[in-house]
Amino acid sequence: MTLVTGGAGYIGSHVVRLLAERRERVVIVDDLSTGSLARVPDVPFVHLDLAGEDAEGALRQVLSDHGVTSVMHFAARKQVGESVTFPTRYFGCNVGGMTNLLSAMEAVGVRELVFSSSAAVYGETTGPAVIDEQVPCRPVNPYGQSKLIGEWMTQNAAAAWGLRAADLRYFNVAGTGWPDLADTVATNLVPIVVEAALAAQPVTVFGTDWPTSDGTCVRDFIHVLDLAEAHIAALDHVRSGSPIGARVFNLGTGTGSSVLDVVDAVRVCSGIEIRTLDAPRRPGDPASVVADPSHANVVLGWRASRTLDDIAGSAWRAAIARHTLAA
- The pairing of strands 257-258 and 112-118 is unpaired
- Separation between Cα atoms, residue 96 and residue 92, nearest integer Å: 5
Co-location of 181 and 94 in the same domain: no
Amino acid at 102: L
Give residue 43's pLDDT: 95
Co-location of 6 and 85 in the same domain: yes
SS3 per-residue string spanning the chain? CEEEECCCCHHHHHHHHHHHHCCCCEEEEECCCCCCHHHCCCCCEEECCCCCCCHHHHHHHHHHHCCCCEEEECCCCCCHHHHHHCHHHHHHHHHHHHHHHHHHHHHHCCCEEEEEEEHHHHECCCCCCEECCCCCCECCCHHHHHHHHHHHHHHHHHHHHCCEEEEEEECEEECCCCHHHCCCCCCCHHHHHHHHHHHCCCEEEECCCCCCCCCCCEECEEEHHHHHHHHHHHHHHHHCCCCCEEEEEEECCCCCEEHHHHHHHHHHHHCCCCCEEEECCCCCCCCEEEECCHHHHHHCCCCCCCCHHHHHHHHHHHHHHHHHHHC
Active site (annotated) includes residue 170: no
Co-location of 159 and 26 in the same domain: yes
- The pairing of strands 218-219 and 257-258 is antiparallel
- Which has the closest alpha carbon to 182: 171, 174, 193? 174
Give residue 128's pLDDT: 64
Co-location of 231 and 317 in the same domain: no
pLDDT at 327 over 60: no
| Mean pLDDT on 260-279 | 96
CA 218 to chain centre: 19
Would residue 296 count as lying in a domain? no
Would residue 167 count as lying in a domain? yes
Give residue 84's pLDDT: 85
Would residue 310 count as lying in a domain? yes
Give residue 206's pLDDT: 93
Co-location of 146 and 30 in the same domain: yes
- The pairing of strands 164-170 and 245-251 is parallel
Co-location of 22 and 75 in the same domain: yes
List CB contacts of 129: < 8 A, sequence separation 6 or more.
218, 256, 287, 288, 289, 290
pLDDT one-digit tens code per residue, 91-143: 999 999 999 999 999 999 999 999 999 999 998 776 666 899 999 999 888 99
Co-location of 190 and 159 in the same domain: no
Co-location of 18 and 140 in the same domain: yes
Would residue 300 count as lying in a domain? no
State how many domains the chain has. Answer: 2
Would residue 295 count as lying in a domain? no
Would residue 314 count as lying in a domain? yes
Lowest model confidence (mean pLDDT) among 83-97, 128-142, 160-174: 128-142
Co-location of 155 and 142 in the same domain: yes
- Which has the closest alpha carbon to 137: 61, 147, 129? 147
Give residue 184's pLDDT: 79
Considering the chain, what is the average pLDDT of its residues? 93
Co-location of 24 and 42 in the same domain: yes
pLDDT at 325 over 80: no
List CB contacts of 109: < 8 A, sequence separation 6 or more.
none
Co-location of 106 and 29 in the same domain: yes
Would residue 161 count as lying in a domain? yes
Q: What percent of the chain has pLDDT over 90?
A: 83
What band does 242 get if pLDDT is binned at 50, 70 and 90? Answer: confident
pLDDT at 238 over 60: yes
Give residue 124's pLDDT: 74
Domain membership of residue 212 as a residue range: 177-220+254-290+306-326
Residue 287, sorted as left (phi over 0), alpha (psi -120 to 50) or beta, turns out to be: alpha
Co-location of 22 and 102 in the same domain: yes
Longest dimension (CA), the chain: 57
Give residue 326's pLDDT: 59
Catalytic residue, from 10, 90, 122, 143: name it: 143
Would residue 299 count as lying in a domain? no
- Separation between Cα atoms, residue 6 and residue 76, nearest integer Å: 8
Give residue 260's pLDDT: 97
Amino acid at 5: T
First to last CA, the chain: 40
**CATH number of the domain encompassing residue 149:** 3.40.50.720
**CATH number of the domain encompassing residue 195:** 3.90.25.10
- Separation between Cα atoms, residue 222 and residue 300, nearest integer Å: 17
